[in-house]
Each structure stands twice: as C-alpha cells, then as structure tokens.
C-alpha cells in the first residue's frame, strides 16, 4: 500500500493531508506532529486568541473529527527524530518506526531565542504556539508593563493586543525603524506613529544587552524585572515577550543528507533532492517566480500553496497555478494586506486614504508593480495582486490619486 507520512501537523501538514484526499489519494496517510493539538492556525495566536476574543476550538484547521472521517491517522505529541532514506523509514523519539512510500516534511520553524544573559528568567516569553499564548496570557493584564523585544509583525500585533487589554507595552527594536526586514521606511513610520499615538512606547536603535531580575539584600530573583540596553539604560517591566524571528526546523532533514540552505531546498513541485521526499511551509526554501531567486517564506498562503503543490505531485494531478505571495497583519483597527515582495523596488508610491493618512504603498521596479502594502484598502490589495501577477506597469499618477478608482488604474 502507498503510505504518505507527513511530519509536522501544522498549517502546511494539515492542508497537505486534506489535499491528498481531495485529489483522490486512497493510500495510508499518517500525519504526525509533536504538539498535543490537532492542526491549527497560528495567525490568531497574536490577535484574537491572545486578546481572548476566540477560544481554542476556533483555531483548528478543520473540526478534529474530520481527520478521522478522511481516514487521516493523526499522531499527536510525537516527535520525529530521524529519516532513513535507504530503508524509507522515519524514526520517532519514542523509538517507534514507520515506513513511507512518500514523505512530506512540514516541520515549520521555531523561535529564535534571545542570546543575552538573563534570557532564561521567568517571565521571558515567546509567541509561537497555543502553549506559548496560554503561558503569557496572564501578563497581558491591566497595568502590567510588558517589554516587547522585536518590532516585527508579531511584536506589533502583541503590542496592540496588550494595549487593548489595559497593559503597558514598550516595543524595543534594535534597528532604526520598525518592520525593518519586511517593510519600506514609509510603512515603518506609519506603524510607529500608529502605535505611539495610541500610547505604546516605541524604542528604536535599542540593543538588548541583558534581561535583569530583581536584585536585593537577599540575593537575585528569578523573574525578569528589567531589560538592560547596550546604552546602560534599564527599562523596567513585569514580563518580556521576545519576537525576533524564527529558524527553520530542518536539522533532521539535513542529517539524512537532503540538501538545505536557509530551509530544505525544494523544486517547483516541492520535491527535495530525494524524489520521494517533499518539504513544505516555513521549513522549505524554493525558487520564487516573482523574486527570481530562492526564498523561504513564512506565511499561511505560502504554506497552503506548497501543501497543495506537494499533494498534486504525489497524486500526479496538475499543479496549481503560481500565486503572488501575500500576507496580512491586524493591529488595532488597521488591517494590512500585502501582496508581492519588496526588495528590488526602486520607487514607492503612496495612495492617500480619505483621512489624509496614507492608505496604500505601491512598490515599483523599472515601472513594474512588484509589491503593495494596503491598509484598510482591500480594493487596492486585490487590484495590486492582479497587476503584480501580470507584471503590469500602472500609471504612477493614477496610482497615487485616490480619486482614480483602482479598476481604472488597471486599464
């Protein structure tokens, strides 16, 4: 019997199992993950789940009983530790072994930990899993000072939830602007102002040197009470949330001899250097048609796209059409949708919103639209996605003019 083992029961792994069945795959599917939960969505973890607006059951990719109905064997709390590519087996940490005909690695990524003294103190948190959020929810209480280390999307979403719950967030960012890795300076400024005007303290150019416990007459405490910057200044806090990026979970793939870079290397069909092994989602690096180079994308749309691609390849079904990469982030009442990839752009055009604040940012390279960041502006987002796919050269004056409807910009 044909057996597909999927390692990692997250966004990509769960989708791949479902897509295999949708494509008519009739063999055995074993979906194994090291968390105790059925496959779930992570985006709400720093949004509605953190704020308490939704409970755990709203995170599941599909109702847990659907996996049984689809004859997907879900093996939870089960960590894979090695692949034997010659025997075509996977070994798990409990010593058990399973044979595959095809293997899909969907192990995602893990948080980068803060490499400073005091990083192991109590009250130092990360935000990747349900367990992480359950551990840090008590910190997000009225009056609590939360030092948020890292001004990326996760840190900023957490800051916005913290403020909403009455806590006092301070965002500490090492670079000279927020979102430095993923956004243009104009966007960074927009988000800094959005946070500061609502009451978040934003500290840029601030390197964290150490996390400090209380020290007194009777020795040092075990809980973080301050963030010491390289300038010598200490920012007092009741807890610290670290959001400084992720690292792909690719070690056991590399140990089995699969080619890796900044992620497990895969081709268009999501095949690794072993034709019977696929890799998908946050752990995989693939040539991107839009960027013209290999990239490891950390987003739900990418995880879903690669999951469907791998499932199609396993079933011999036609591959889905290439997609324009996209992403979203919710902070306060600001719903950001981004399409495409910045990096090679040589100009940014700002389309103002009705209240004089910029609403969308369009990024062009040689006149071709390659990316857009749209805030509370779904029309521009949809239009930009289509134009990016077509490598369109929209009229810059029309793009900048909110009086010109996006459907007319596209003409």
Binding site for ligand FAD (CB under 6 A): 7-13, 32-35, 42-43, 45-46, 79-80, 106-108, 127-128, 154, 249, 281-283, 298-301, 303, 327-329
Give the pairing of strands 72-75 and 28-32. parallel
Burial of 89: CB neighbours in 10 Å, binned 0-12, 13-18, 19+: middle
By C-beta, is 238 or 298 nearer to ligand FAD? 298
By C-beta, is 79 or 85 nearer to ligand FAD? 79
Q: How far is the CB of 7 from ligand FAD (least distance, A)?
A: 5
C-alpha span between 104 and 189 (Å, rounded): 41
Q: How far is the CB of 309 from ligand FAD (least distance, A)?
A: 13
By C-beta, is 13 or 150 nearer to ligand FAD? 13
Burial of 33: CB neighbours in 10 Å, binned 0-12, 13-18, 19+: buried
Helix (H, G, I), strand (E, B) or coil at 247: strand
Residues with Cβ within 8 Å of 124's Cβ and at least 6 positions away in sequence, in order, are 114, 118, 211, 224, 239, 240, 242
Q: Which residue, 348, 303, 322, 337, is CA-closest to 40?
A: 303
Q: How far is the CB of 279 from ligand FAD (least distance, A)?
A: 9
Residue nearest to ligand FAD (CB): 10
Write the DSSP symbol of residue 391.
Answer: T
Helix (H, G, I), strand (E, B) or coil at 327: strand
Q: How far is the CB of 316 from ligand FAD (least distance, A)?
A: 23
By C-beta, is 49 or 225 nearer to ligand FAD? 49
Q: How far is the CB of 101 from ligand FAD (least distance, A)?
A: 19
Q: Hey, how many other C-beta atoms are within 10 angstroms of the C-beta on 118?
A: 20
Give the pairing of strands 358-365 and 347-352. antiparallel
Q: How far is the CB of 156 from ligand FAD (least distance, A)?
A: 11
Q: Which residue, 356, 197, 284, 273, is CA-closest to 8?
A: 284
By C-beta, is 118 or 150 nearer to ligand FAD? 150
By C-beta, is 11 or 380 nearer to ligand FAD? 11
Q: How far is the CB of 289 from ligand FAD (least distance, A)?
A: 19
By C-beta, is 180 or 398 nearer to ligand FAD? 180
Strand order in the sheet with 72-75: 72-75, 28-32, 3-7, 102-105, 277-279
């Amino acid at each position: 019997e044909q057996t597909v083992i999927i390692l990692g029961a997250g966004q990509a792994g769960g989708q791949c199992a479902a897509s295999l069945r949708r494509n008519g795959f009739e063999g055995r599917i074993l979906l194994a993950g090291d968390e105790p939960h059925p496959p779930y969505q992570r985006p709400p973890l720093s949004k509605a789940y953190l704020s308490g607006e939704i409970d755990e059951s709203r995170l599941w990719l599909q109702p847990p009983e659907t996996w049984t109905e689809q004859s997907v064997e879900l093996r939870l709390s089960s960590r894979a530790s090695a692949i034997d590519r010659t025997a075509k087996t996977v070994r798990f940490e409990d010593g058990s072994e399973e044979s595959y005909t095809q293997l899909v690695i969907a192990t995602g990524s893990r948080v980068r930990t803060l490499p400073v003294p005091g990083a192991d103190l109590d009250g130092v948190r990360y935000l990747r899993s349900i367990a992480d959020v359950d551990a840090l929810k008590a910190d997000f209480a009225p009056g609590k000072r939360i030092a948020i280390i890292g001004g990326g999307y996760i840190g900023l979403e957490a800051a916005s939830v913290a403020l909403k719950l009455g806590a006092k967030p301070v965002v500490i960012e090492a670079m000279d602007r927020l979102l430095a890795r993923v956004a243009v300076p104009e966007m960074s400024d927009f988000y800094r102002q959005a946070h500061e005007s609502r009451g978040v303290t934003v500290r840029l150019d601030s390197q964290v040197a150490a996390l400090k416990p209380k020290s007194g007459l009777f020795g040092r405490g075990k809980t973080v009470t301050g963030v010491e910057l390289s300038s010598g200044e200490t920012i007092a806090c009741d807890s610290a949330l670290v959001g400084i990026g992720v690292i792909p979970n690719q070690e056991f793939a590399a140990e089995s001899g699969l080619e890796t870079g900044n992620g497990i290397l895969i081709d268009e069909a999501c095949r690794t250097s072993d034709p019977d092994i696929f890799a998908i989602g946050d752990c995989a690096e693939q040539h991107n048609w839009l960027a013209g180079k290999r990239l490891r994308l950390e987003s739900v749309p990418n995880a879903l796209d690669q999951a469907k691609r791998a499932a199609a390849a396993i079933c011999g079904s036609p591959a889905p059409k290439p997609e324009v990469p996209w992403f979203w982030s919710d902070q306060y009442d600001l719903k950001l949708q981004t399409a495409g990839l910045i990096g090679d752009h040589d100009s940014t055009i700002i389309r103002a919103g009705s209240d004089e604040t910029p609403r969308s940012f369009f990024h062009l390279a040689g006149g071709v639209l390659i990316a857009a960041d749209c805030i509370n502006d779904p029309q521009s987002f949809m239009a930009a996605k289509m134009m990016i796919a077509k490598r369109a050269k929209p009229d810059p004056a029309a793009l900048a003019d909110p009086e010109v409807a996006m459907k007319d910009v596209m003409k």
